[in-house]
Amino acid sequence: MTIIVTGGAGFIGSNFIFHMLDKYPDDRIVCLDKLTYAGNLSTLEPVMDHQNFRFVKADICDREAVFKLFEEEKPQVVVNFAAESHVDRSIDDPGIFLRTNILGTQTLMDACRKYGIVRYHQVSTDEVYGDLPLDRPDLFFTETTPIHTSSPYSASKASADLLVLAYHRTYGLPVTISRCSNNYGPYHFPEKLIPLMIANCLNDKPLPVYGEGLNVRDWLYVEDHCKAIDLIIRKGRVGEVYNIGGHNEMRNIDIVKLICKTLGKPESLITYVADRKGHDMRYAIDPAKIDRELGWKPETMFNDGIVKTIQWYLDHRAWWEEIISGEYQQYYENMYRGR
């Protein structure tokens, strides 16, 4: 089987490629990635010489390049991870989010229609459901929770989801969608909460917590997300949405304190900064459907996963130091200076 994985030079896509090549060495994986600021070819170094792996630098919005690749590879499955993924950047500059996340999805699905595929899988997010109140811990997102987005990022992801379902209903395209909670683990780009706090701690820099740090996210170890997608593309029902999450809700401030403690750094590094605009309070996934239908359960508990993740950042300093030494510095200045 040939699988096109878009966005495979980013955080979750690269972990997915490693998982797939390891588990199914006879399947061919073709990674299509534009290598934006978030894509890193060095991440894919361990598989570059794998006989069943091919990397192609291209934009998912580039119709000609995408169609040419489908013509050459005739994939059976497409898994679309490619996206602009950072909420703060979407607040600053929404346009690129609409282009990549919506029009890129359209381009990929048009190629799927033209060349024919067995499955198109859209990697979506729990953020399409908006947020839940902190004082109702009994509420969770299910697959039937109405779409109710807050940020340009989540609005673009929700738009793409609607388009994917429309291509299924109108053209009969065999699609599935997964909506996962916040991931953490190796190769997470250091603009996101957990790797940013680890990197800043290791550099004895202030730890910028938005608002009062009381917002809750539902954290899942990236490998568990990859295993869930693998199951969905093989056994999931066409036309269906599957929520993915591990019932691991944590307040931001508690995560930052845990990182300080694990690295032996003082909590005095914590600096409360101006809140994110439209900041979602709480995300919490009900994963009952994927458990019931596909037998998926998370395998890595947060206490183990966070220790493994911190150790990975200690062992791979060169990977993230290279990233934060480049254009990231300008981003950090703009986002955090005087905040």
Summarize as ranges the residues that interact with ligand NAD (CB under 6 A).
6-7, 9-13, 33-36, 38-39, 59-61, 81-85, 100, 104, 123, 125, 157, 180, 182-183, 189
3-state secondary structure of 29: strand
Nearest to 16 by CA among 300, 223, 220: 223
- Show the tokens assigned to 209: 């917590």
Nearest to 120 by CA among 80, 61, 63, 68: 80
Residue 215 touches which member of ligand TYD, ligand NAD, none, C-beta under 5-8 Å by kind = ligand TYD
Of 59, 129, 131, 153, which one is the catalytic site residue? 153
Residue 61 touches which member of ligand NAD, ligand TYD, none, C-beta under 5-8 Å by kind = ligand NAD
CA distances for 291 relative to 92, 228, 286, angstroms: 37, 10, 10
Write the binding mask 265 to 284 for ligand TYD: x where contact by CB under 6 A, - elsewhere. -----------x--------
Write the binding mask 66 to 105 for ligand TYD: x where contact by CB under 6 A, - elsewhere. ---------------------x------------------
| Least separation in angstroms between CB 213 and ligand TYD | 6
- Show the tokens assigned to 323: 């990233």
Q: Does 220 bind ligand TYD (CB under 6 A)?
A: no
Query: Read out DSSP for 14-28?
Result: HHHHHHHHHH-TTSE
Question: Side chain identity at 175, as an amino acid letter?
Answer: V
First to last CA, the chain: 49
| Least separation in angstroms between CB 242 and ligand NAD | 12
Question: What is the Cα 328 distance to its own chain's centre?
Answer: 19
Question: Side chain identity at 80, as an amino acid letter?
Answer: N
Q: Does 217 bind ligand TYD (CB under 6 A)?
A: yes
Q: Which residue, 88 or 240, is less far from ligand TYD as judged by CB?
A: 88
> For this structure, is 153 an active site residue?
yes
Among 209, 231, 285, 323, binds ligand TYD (CB under 6 A): 209
| Least separation in angstroms between CB 67 and ligand TYD | 32
Sorted by sequence, the CB contacts under 8 Å of residue 115 that are 6+ apart come out as: 67, 70, 71, 74, 75
Of 33, 59, 84, 126, which one is the catalytic site residue? 126
Position of minimal CB gap to ligand NAD:
10
Q: Does 259 bind ligand TYD (CB under 6 A)?
A: no
Q: List b or e across 291-328, with b for residues whose CB sees 16 or more CB atoms inside 10 angstroms.
A: eeebebebebebeebbeebbebbeeeeebbeebbeeeb
Residues that bind ligand TYD (CB under 6 A): 87, 182, 192-193, 196, 208-210, 215, 217, 252, 276
Residue positions annotated with a catalytic role: 126-127, 153
